[in-house]
Amino acid sequence: MIRQIVSEARNRSKYDIGETIEDVANRTGRKPSEILKLNANENFFVPLVFLKNLLKEVMDEADFRIYPGEETTDLRESLGKYLRVPREQVMIGNGSDQLIDLISRAILRPGDDALSFTPTFSMYKRCVVVQGATYDAIPLREDFSLNAEKLLASAKPKTKLLFLCSPNNPTANQFDLGTIRHVAENFEGLVVVDEAYADFSGETAVPLLEELGNILIIRTFSKAFGVAGLRLGYAVANRDLSSAINEGFQLPYNVSTIALRVALRILEGIEVINTAIEELKAERTRLIRKLNEIDGIHAFDSVTNFVLFRAGRSSDDLHKALLERGVMVKNLGRVLDFTNCLRVTVAPSPLSERFLQALREVMG
């Protein structure tokens, strides 16, 4: 049995987080503090002092000898108010990745099928395959729009689950609600809408929950709220589905007291988050403009906290040259028919300028 597990693990694709800050620092002879990390869509606009103060308050107040209790209910209540849904429709997870895995376990059985599009977040396929199910992906159109009819036509009799990342990673665009509604209305299984980046676009599929019973929406605290290191995600669906997942599939005490309490404090100070989002949007516009001013670079539009761009030279070489300058971005290579693509996190102006200057030197 152990050999079988080892064999299956080796045959599965590994989720590649890339080099760490320490890896790049050691390889380039720099201090970790000198490395500019713009490869993971993290949010550097939320003031670190704001988050640290919240954490200090939680550390002073909480008794960590006790399992989380009312914190989970309180956070579901607070998130319900934030999304304008009853708390009974809210699920809490240890990061959105854990919720993707949880939903896959709840819905899929060996021999079932799941469906999505490409390119998109790789975690969907990983979680589906672990369940012994088949994962199919339909290419987006060249303008990154969703071919809804082709997607629906690809559904099989045993296709139980359909993932829609909107706004999408890595293309940074969002699908309109009409398209999402059309897909859900014509799909017999569960449609999971991953809205990790929705706070940056200002649009959400949450209103569709009142119309359709087969939609589940996943959100995260890692992006707009700026606490990727706390590993906290949440989801909303109709009451029956939410109750079934919370009671029948979710593990007890799945999120730490620290994460739950910090999340509650963040929502109480939501004006800080809203200000950070507006600052990010302004910098996103400037970054796209500056990227497009560099010869050999084309930046695509974005409604997220990252920008996809393509270069007129090898993205492998460009990525390596930026790393040598202490700048970390995501090397994507081919995205549909676009070659030499990379992805960069939108960061405050001083950090963006450092990235832009390194890119100008490399593109020379």
Summarised one tens digit per residue, pLDDT across range 114-123 is 999 999 999 9
Among 5-14, 172-181, 337-346, name the one with the lowest average pLDDT: 5-14
Residue for token pair 């403009």: 289
Q: How many domains does the chain have?
A: 2
Q: Is the pLDDT of residue 339 over 90?
A: yes
* pLDDT (mean) for 174-187: 97
Same domain, 22 and 138: no
* pLDDT (mean) for 311-330: 97
Which of the pair, 14 or 21, is modelled with greater confidence?
21
Q: Is the pLDDT of residue 1 over 80?
A: no
Same domain, 244 and 281: no
Same domain, 216 and 319: no
Q: What is the per-residue pLDDT for 8?
A: 67
* pLDDT (mean) for 47-65: 95
Q: What is the per-residue pLDDT for 18?
A: 73
Q: What is the per-residue pLDDT for 70?
A: 93
DSSP three-state, residue 193:
strand
Same domain, 123 and 72: yes
State how far the Cα of 332 lies from the Cα of 344, in Å rounded to an integer. Answer: 11
Structure tokens at 189: 């299984």
| Domain end (from 211, 238, 268) | 268
- CATH code where residue 116 lies: 3.40.640.10
Q: What is the per-residue pLDDT for 10?
A: 63
Residue for token pair 């790789």: 122
| Domain end (from 268, 301, 333) | 268
Q: How confident is the model at residue 40 (pLDDT cuts 50, 70, 90)?
A: very high
Same domain, 194 and 152: yes
Among 25-34, 73-82, 86-95, name the one with the lowest average pLDDT: 25-34
> Is the Cβ–Cβ distance between 235 and 90 less than 8 Å?
yes
Same domain, 97 and 235: yes
Is residue 60 one of the residues assigned to a domain? no
Same domain, 264 and 276: no
172: domain range?
A: 67-268
**How far are the Cα atoms of 54, 142, 266, 357 from residue 311, in angstroms, in the given order?**
41, 17, 38, 15
Same domain, 189 and 277: no
Same domain, 121 and 257: yes
| Domain end (from 236, 268, 300) | 268
Same domain, 119 and 94: yes
State how far the Cα of 145 lies from the Cα of 54, in Å rounded to an integer. Answer: 40
Average pLDDT of the chain is 95
Instruction: Give one DSSP letter per residue of 184-241, joined into a string.
Output: HHT-SSEEEEE-TTHHHHT--SGGGGGT-SSEEEEEESSSTT--GGG--EEEE--HHH
Structure tokens at 316: 């492998």
Same domain, 153 and 230: yes
Who's near 148: CB < 8 A, 6+ residues apart? 179, 182, 183
Q: Is the pLDDT of residue 17 over 90?
A: no
* pLDDT (mean) for 242-249: 93
Residue for token pair 């849904």: 85
Is residue 196 one of the residues assigned to a domain? yes
